[in-house]
């Protein structure tokens, strides 16, 4: 069925409600818009199912959510699992609650029990819930840090991690096999049958927070320094507000000031361009508040509270946003130094990052004798390694992180966790404060020891069907005829992750990674959550200024090279 036939189906068949039909009839003369909405089904990527809210097969709506959920139900039922169940959470986005309830109605209609959170919760708490309830699977309705017009649908399996191959492909196949939306089983309303639907409330939150607290490494120092350390926190209108404040209070932080304009849920994220803690603009209000309060530290979590951004004062007294790589390196130093002091490091201790993560963390880990493993982009691959460590018993997971502001410690959550990370970051700041240092000074100390590392990213947007084809063509051209030099430097290695066989076996993915003769590198990969090509860059300089010059030069050279292709 082509996109025009799909469009006709949606405006004529009785199963689709009048509001949906009305929305689609309004675009009846816009062929491009119709094509974009119907040329494909939403696909699972590194973040699961994610798209613009609206009517159409390539949009987030109750029908695409229902179809994906029926596919999940069919997959679970084919596995003949005894007493199957699914945990469901959601964030503050538009229709998040409605989509969560839609999924519950479909699962219940298929005889599958649902554990549904009573209100918005962090994504990592959903991961914890899947493991605690020994659920077959989990769902969270969120589009993470995307603009407000987006929503999404992430699927977790019984280990509490997002699904990967082969389960992801099998789920997609089940969803794709549903050709008619009339084949979706659905209850008219949420059931009162407690054997089918259990609402998860505050008691479960307490259990999660208690587990997070077990990861505290320096609670005594926190209590000693808590009167002096001042923290500004913004949940950016999302689900981090309650749990982050709760855990910080539990471990002893007294001076936590919440940005009042961003405290409560707001699906329009009206105080920011978009709710991404990677961007300084998202911290505009927090920085203003920090200046007035003379705060030591700012932390900000994204809407589903799996990512956290950190803002510190530099040597000039300016508030600057740390990159994900910088925060990750600082956390590795903090965790490993604390564990070493407590006699808890051993030969099995291992850090996990991704192939596009900066390399300073690797150097720090190796200096402490810890192992380092790099996996493909997406925290689900980090979680998969944690699972394999437990099965083999050959390594002990200490910390996992990625450059895009995701961090995890502990073994009871299998996704990036901004509640855990927020606690550890604030503890780390307290420990530096006791030594008479800021986090920024701690970072400079690491640079002096391991080299002045600098990383950056760029994105090229590809809209619609033609855009996706252009992106594939671009990568294929670079794969077939790779550049020999970049930025005046020889390309010494090209890794094509469609065929690459390294020391650690990785899934095949459409990613190209180039290493230059001075050990700088860049990497091209299609985003798993948005229609764009992401480019990652990394250099090491002799000073901050030298690293800045090198990264800008590399970035410009690579962007020119890509433009030529």
Number of neighbours of residue 153 by Cβ within 10 angstroms: 27
Count of other CB atoms within 10 angstroms of residue 33: 17
Strand partners, 151: 51
Tokens of 47: 């973040």
State the number of CA atoms in the 13 A half-sphere of 494 facing the CB. 16
Token pair listed for 45 = 């990527």
Two tokens, residue 439:
């986090």
CA 481 to mean position of chain CA atoms = 33
Residue identified by tokens 């550890």 is 424
DSSP 367-415: HTT-EEEEE-SSHHHHHHHHHHHHHH-S-EEEEEEETTTEEE-SSS--S
Residue 267, class by beta-carbon neighbours within 10 Å (0-12 exposed, 13-18 middle, 19+ buried)? middle
Task: Report how far residue 458's alpha carbon sits from residue 83's, in angstroms, rounded to the nearest whole number.
Answer: 47
Q: Scanning the structure block, which residue is given the tokens 């609650």?
A: 97
Catalytic residue selected from 144, 226, 239, 374: 144
Residue 493's CB is within 10 A of a number of other CB atoms, namely 10
Instruction: Answer yes or no: 456 catalytic.
Output: no
SS3 call for 534 = strand
CA angle 61, 62, 63 (to 5 degrees): 90
**Cβ 167 vs Cβ 78: under 8 Å:** no
CA–CA gap between residue 182 and residue 13 (Å, rounded): 10
With tokens 């090209």, the residue in question is 494
By the 10 Å C-beta count (0-12 exposed, 13-18 middle, 19+ buried), 206 is classed as: exposed
The span from the CA of 74 to the CA of 535, in Å, is 38
First to last CA, the chain: 33
Of residues 204, 433, 457, 440, the one with CA closest to residue 313: 440
Torsions phi, psi for 287 (to 5 deg): -65, -40
Strand partners, 352: 373, 400
Distance in angstroms (rounded) separating the CA atoms of residues 140 and 196: 18
Nearest Cα to 255, choosing from 429, 436, 408? 429
* Residues assigned a catalytic role: 144
């Amino acid at each position: 069925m082509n996109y025009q036939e799909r469009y006709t189906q949606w405006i004529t068949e009785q199963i689709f409600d009048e509001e949906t039909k009305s929305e689609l009839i309004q675009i009846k003369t816009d062929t491009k818009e119709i094509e974009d909405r119907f040329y494909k089904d939403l696909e699972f990527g590194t973040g699961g199912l994610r798209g613009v809210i609206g009517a159409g097969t390539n949009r987030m709506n109750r029908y695409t959510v229902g179809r994906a959920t029926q596919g999940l139900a069919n997959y679970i039922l084919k596995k003949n699992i005894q007493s199957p169940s699914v945990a469901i959470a959601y964030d503050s986005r538009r229709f998040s609650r409605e989509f969560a309830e839609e999924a519950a109605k479909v699962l219940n209609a298929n005889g599958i029990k649902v554990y549904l959170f009573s209100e918005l919760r962090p994504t990592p708490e959903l991961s914890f819930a899947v493991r605690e309830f020994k659920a077959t699977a989990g769902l969270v309705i969120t589009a993470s840090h995307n603009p407000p017009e987006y929503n999404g649908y992430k699927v977790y399996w019984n280990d509490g991690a997002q699904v990967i191959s082969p389960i992801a492909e099998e789920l997609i196949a089940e969803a794709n096999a549903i050709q008619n939306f009339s084949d979706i089983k659905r209850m008219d309303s949420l059931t009162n049958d407690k054997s089918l639907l259990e609402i998860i409330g505050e008691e479960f939150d307490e259990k999660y927070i208690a587990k997070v607290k077990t990861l505290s490494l320096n609670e005594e120092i926190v209590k000693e320094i808590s009167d002096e350390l001042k923290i500004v926190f913004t949940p950016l209108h999302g689900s981090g507000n309650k749990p982050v404040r709760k855990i910080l209070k539990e471990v002893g932080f007294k001076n936590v000031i919440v940005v009042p304009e961003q405290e409560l849920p707001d699906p329009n994220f009206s105080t920011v361009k978009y709710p991404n803690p990677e961007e300084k603009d998202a911290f505009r209000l927090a920085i203003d508040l920090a200046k007035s309060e003379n705060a030591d530290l700012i932390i900000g979590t994204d809407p589903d509270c799996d990512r956290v951004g950190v803002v510190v004062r530099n040597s000039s007294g300016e508030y600057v946003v740390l990159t994900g790589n910088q925060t990750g390196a600082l956390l590795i130093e903090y965790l490993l130094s604390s564990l070493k002091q407590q006699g808890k490091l051993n030969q099995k201790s291992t850090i996990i990052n991704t192939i596009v993560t900066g390399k300073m963390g690797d150097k720090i880990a190796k200096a402490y004798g810890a192992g380092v493993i790099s996996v493909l982009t997406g925290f689900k691959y980090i979680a998969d390694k944690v699972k394999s460590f437990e099965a083999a018993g050959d390594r002990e997971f200490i910390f996992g992180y990625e450059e895009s502001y995701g961090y995890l410690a502990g073994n009871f959550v299998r996704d990036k966790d901004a509640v855990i990370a927020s606690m550890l970051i604030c503890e780390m700041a307290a420990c530096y404060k006791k030594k008479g240092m800021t986090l920024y000074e701690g970072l400079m100390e690491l640079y002096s020891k391991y080299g002045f590392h600098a990383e950056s990213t760029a994105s090229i947007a590809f809209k619609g069907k033609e855009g996706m084809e252009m992106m594939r063509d671009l990568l294929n051209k670079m794969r077939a005829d790779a550049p020999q030099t970049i930025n005046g430097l020889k390309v010494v290695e090209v890794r094509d992750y469609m065929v690459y066989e390294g020391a650690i076996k990785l899934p095949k993915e459409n990613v190209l990674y180039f290493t230059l003769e001075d050990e700088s590198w860049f990497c091209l990969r299609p985003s798993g959550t948005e229609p764009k090509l992401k480019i990652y860059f990394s250099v090491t300089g002799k000073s901050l200024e030298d690293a800045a010059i090198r990264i800008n030069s590399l970035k410009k050279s690579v962007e020119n090279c890509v433009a030529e292709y």
